Amino acid sequence: ADIMVFQRLRRMKQWWPAPTASSIFGNLLDTYAFFAIAFYHTNDAFMAEHWIGIGFVDYLVKITANLMIFLPVYGVLLNFLIKKIEDK
């Protein structure tokens, strides 16, 4: 079912919905999995109690960087490649 969602997003006229959705959901899964595996039931009492909040802040930093830096760079690169292909 998830594959169908991204297929629909890739077929849209705008280029940015698919990589944006992929970034949001991929980073969410990655961040939650990392913090849950690394710090759940750890001997560090602070991290055992606060890993969810720290993970959430980490997620926000990742999404902010992704939307402000990587997504625009992807758009510029995509436009460059499309122009190169169209010129041939």
d(CA 6, CA 42) in angstroms, rounded, equals: 36
Query: Each residue's pLDDT tens digit in the chain (88 positions)?
Result: 556 766 777 777 888 888 898 899 999 999 999 999 998 889 999 998 999 999 999 999 999 999 999 999 999 999 999 999 999 8
Instruction: Give the model's pLDDT for residue 40.
Output: 80
In our burial notation (b when 16+ CB lie closer than 10 A, e otherwise), range 42-75 reads eeeeeeeeebeeebeebbeebbeebeeeeeeebe
Rounded to two decimals, what is the model's pTM? 0.77
Residues 15/19/25/29 CA torsion (nearest 10 deg): 170
Which residues, other chains included, contact 52 with Cβ-Cβ below 8 Å and sequence gap of 6+? 35
Residue ranges covered by each domain of the chain: 2-10+17-87
